[in-house]
Amino acid sequence: MKSSSDPVQSATVDEVPLVRPLTAGADASGISAWALPDFDVPEAPSEVLSEPLDPHAEELARARQVAEQAGFAAGHAQGEKAGFAAGHAEGLAAALAEQTHIQQRFQGWLQSLTQPLADLDAEVSLQMARLAAQMARAIIYRELTIEPEHLDVVARTAIEALPVAVRAVTLVCHPDDADALQAAVDQDTIQSQHAQTVTVRRDATVTPGGLMVESNTVGVESLVDASLEARWAALCLRVLDEQVAGPADPIETEMNEAAE
């Protein structure tokens, strides 16, 4: 056994703490024994004391909530109104555009319908004028055909148009008018100071109601066209200022269609 005077051993002994048991008689003031905690029993939570709320903060929070709700409602109403106005303007513009398109289509239809009517009015007016002329010539032709005695007036007028030197004339007429014209010559209703001798000659190429006056005087050659065609042409030129087919000419097909 080593002696305690060994410096190494004494240093080792000095490093070991000294543990002394507590006794009842020992001075235990301020000193208590540590006990091992019981981990099986949960610790009761410590009671946290809540701080009292500020009544002004509650009023501010409530006022903020009311303001937020009012702002949301106002923004929603304003947005809804703006959206309605924008949608209304857009819908109105679309409706006006569609209305303009439909109006243009109707105007095109009306123009396509009225233009033929305007052309038809002009054509009808022209056809009516022509039809009136055709009816007039038909009436004249009928009158002169049924009553050929009117030829004596025509013959006398034609004879008076001859030169004064003419003393003998020949009346060339249609065979159907020859008898009536010869009767007028026999009754001296045709002779005038221009012609002392009048003879009648039949010619089928002359239209009924008309005649030709030829001079038989030697050295004086004269011809008066008193045919129905010539007199009709002169009348139309004087009244209508245009040339119209004579009474004996066939009525044109377009005239028949206009009459129907």
What is the per-residue pLDDT across 154-204, written as a single tens digit (0 to 9) for each?
Answer: 788 777 777 777 777 888 888 888 888 888 888 877 766 556 688 889 998
Residues 104 and 163 in one domain: no
Indicate the residue among 146, 163, 182 that finishes a domain: 146
Residues 102 and 122 in one domain: yes
Domain assignment of residue 196, yes or no: yes
Please tell me the predicted confidence (pLDDT) of residue 244: 52
In the DSSP assignment, the letter for residue 192 is: B
| C-alpha distances in Å from residue 16, one per residue of 7, 11, 31 | 15, 9, 22
- State yes or no: pLDDT of 89 exceeds 50: yes
- The torsion angle over the Cα atoms of residues 99, 103, 106 and 107, rounded to 10 degrees, is -170
Residues 125 and 75 in one domain: yes
Residues 115 and 166 in one domain: no
> Where in the sequence is the domain holding 179, given as residue range(s)?
150-240
Residues 142 and 157 in one domain: no
What is the per-residue pLDDT across 33-53, written as a single tens digit (0 to 9) for each?
Answer: 666 666 665 555 555 545 555
Contact (Cβ atoms closer than 8 angstroms) between residue 218 and residue 167: no
Contact (Cβ atoms closer than 8 angstroms) between residue 163 and residue 222: yes
CATH number at residue 226: 3.30.2320.30
Domain assignment of residue 39, yes or no: no
Indicate the residue among 146, 161, 177 that finishes a domain: 146
Indicate the residue among 93, 116, 146 that finishes a domain: 146
Residue identified by tokens 């109707």 is 106
| C-alpha distances in Å from residue 216, one per residue of 57, 128, 200, 202, 211 | 146, 45, 12, 16, 16
Number of domains in the chain: 2
Residues 177 and 141 in one domain: no
- State yes or no: pLDDT of 1 exceeds 80: no
CA distance 259 to 134: 10
CA distance 169 to 220: 11
Please tell me the predicted confidence (pLDDT) of residue 21: 56
Residues 128 and 184 in one domain: no
Residue 170: strand pairing partners = 199, 214
Residues 235 and 154 in one domain: yes
Please tell me the predicted confidence (pLDDT) of residue 126: 79
Residues 161 and 138 in one domain: no
Domain assignment of residue 6, yes or no: no
Residues 102 and 87 in one domain: yes
168-173 sheet: strands from edge to edge: 197-202, 168-173, 211-215, 223-226
Residues 170 and 236 in one domain: yes
Report the candidate in 243, 245, 209 with the shortest Cα–Cα distance to residue 226: 209
Residues 235 and 160 in one domain: yes
Domain assignment of residue 245, yes or no: no
Whether the predicted model's global pTM rises above the 0.85 cut? no
